[in-house]
Amino acid sequence: MTQSLGSPAPSVLVIGAGAAGTMAAIHAAMHGADVTLLERTADGGRKILISGGGRCNVLPMQLDESRFETDSSRNTLRRLLRAWPLAEQRRFFEVDVGIPLAEEPALRKVFPASHKARDVRDGLLALAARHGVRLRFNARVLDVVPVGSAEAPMWRVTLEDGGALEAERLVLATGGLSVPATGSDGFGLRIARSLGHEIHAPYAALTPLTCEPSPYTELAGISLPVTLSAQAGARRATATGGFLFTHRGYSGPAALDVSHVAVRAQQDGGDGAQLRVQWTPHDEAAWTRALQPQGNRTVGSVVRGALPDRLAQVLLAMAQVDADERHRLLDTLVRGTLPTSGDEGYKKAEVTGGGVDLGEVNPRTMESRRHAGLFLCGELLDAFGPIGGYNFYWAWATGRAAGVGAAERRSE
C-alpha cells in the first residue's frame, strides 16, 4: 500500500542521511516543505563519523576553487561553489547547529572545537528533527519511479520492507562508491543513469597508492612533508603536504590529493602515471648550495640532516652518490621517481570521482534538467576537492541548494 506524503506544503523525500542529504532535509524543512529523510543504515552520517580521524574536518579555512576536479563545466562548478560562501557555512554550523568551531592554521582546516565528529553528525540530525523532518533509519530503498507529469511531478519510492512512499519532490543524496562499509554502494548513480542522466565514469579518488614490490618497504611508518606531482597525458596534479610510507605503498594528504591521476591512468589502460617527489622544501638551487664541499662535511651528513635517517640512507643508496656524481642525488631529492603499481580503490577512497555531469542539474536549485521534481546533490555529482574540508564544503553547498530548491512552490 502506498503512503502519500502530500500536503499544502511541497512534500519532499530525501534519500541518504549523509552530509549532503541531511543538509538538504534541513533546508527544505526550514523553507516550509514537509520532509521525510530516508537512511539505509541504523544511524546515518557514518562518513561524517570517520572523517578527520574521528574529529571531522568540517570546512577548509580558505577555499581555492581551482583545486576542485571535474570533467563537467568549470563555470557551473564555480556557480555551485559560490552559492553558499564559506563564511555563511561557518555561521550556520556555529549559530544554527550550535557547534563551536576551531581553526588549525598549520593544516588550514576547521574542526568542531570538541574535536568530536559525532557532535557534527548528531547536531545536524537534531537540527533536522527540530525543523520537523521525519527521520526513518533502516529504510533501504529498492526503486525510484516518476509517477506524475512534468506539470505535476510525483515520485514513488519502494522500500525493501514492502512499503512505498510518494512525494512531489525527491532529493537523491546517496553518495558514490567510496568506503562501502559506511553504506555507499552506488545506488544513486544507478538510479540517475536509469533516468537518462549523463554519467562520467566513476573512479576512486583521494585513495592511497600501492607499490608492490617497493624499494621503500622498509620505510613503512615514516612520514614527512613533501611536494608530489603526478602526470598521465594531459592530466596532472601537484600537492604539498604530509606523506606517509605504508606497508603497501603511500598515503597521507599529498599522496591522496594526486591519486586520481594514477587511478584514472590505470582505468584508461595506458602506461600509468608518472609520479615525482620533492622530498624537502629545498629546490635544486638550494640543494646545489647545500651540497657544496665544506670542511669535513659529507654529502651523506647533509642529506641525513634534512630527512629522516632511514629515508636518507635509501635515497643515498638509490642515487649511488660519489664525489663526482652529485647530479644524481639532486635529481633524487628534487624530482625523484615514485614507482606505483596500483591503488587501494574505493575501500579506502575518501570520495568518488566522476558522477552525474554538472550540466544535468539547474545550478541554482540542483533540480534535474531531465526530470521535474528530482534533485541531485553531494558525491553523486561530478566534482571533488582535495583533502582538508573541501568535500564537506561541496556536500553542504549542494545539499543546501537542493533542499531550498525542493521546497520552492511552483508558479501556477
Name the most confidently modeled range: 103-107, 149-153, 251-255, 317-321.
Answer: 251-255
Same domain, 379 and 296: no
Q: Which pLDDT tens digit goes with each residue over 139-182?
A: 999 999 999 887 888 999 999 999 999 999 999 999 999 998 88
Question: Which of 310, 343, 376 delimits the end of a domain?
Answer: 343
Tell me the mean pLDDT in the region 353-370.
98
pLDDT at 3: 45
Q: Which pLDDT tens digit goes with each residue over 62-112?
A: 999 999 999 999 999 999 999 999 999 999 999 999 999 999 999 899 999
Domain count, the chain: 2
Same domain, 95 and 222: no
Tell me the mean pLDDT in the region 337-348.
95
Domain for residue 275, yes or no?
A: yes
Domain for residue 131, yes or no?
A: yes
Question: Which of 343, 360, 387 delimits the end of a domain?
Answer: 343
Same domain, 293 and 240: yes
Q: Note whether 176 and 355 are within 8 A (CB).
A: yes
Domain hosting 367: range is 2-203+352-407
pLDDT at 180: 87
Tell me the mean pLDDT in the region 43-69.
96
Same domain, 138 and 242: no
Domain for residue 395, yes or no?
A: yes
Choice between 181 and 201, residue whose per-residue pLDDT is larger: 201
pLDDT at 51: 94
Residue 154: give its domain's CATH number: 3.50.50.60
270 falls in which pLDDT band (50, 70, 90)? confident
Same domain, 187 and 228: no
Tell me the mean pLDDT in the region 312-335.
82
Angle at which helices 74-82 and 390-407 cross, to 10°: 80
Same domain, 17 and 164: yes
Encode 50-83: b = buried (16+ Cβ within 10 Å), e = exposed.
Answer: ebbeebbbbbbeebeeeebbbebeeebbeebbeb
pTM of the model: 0.94
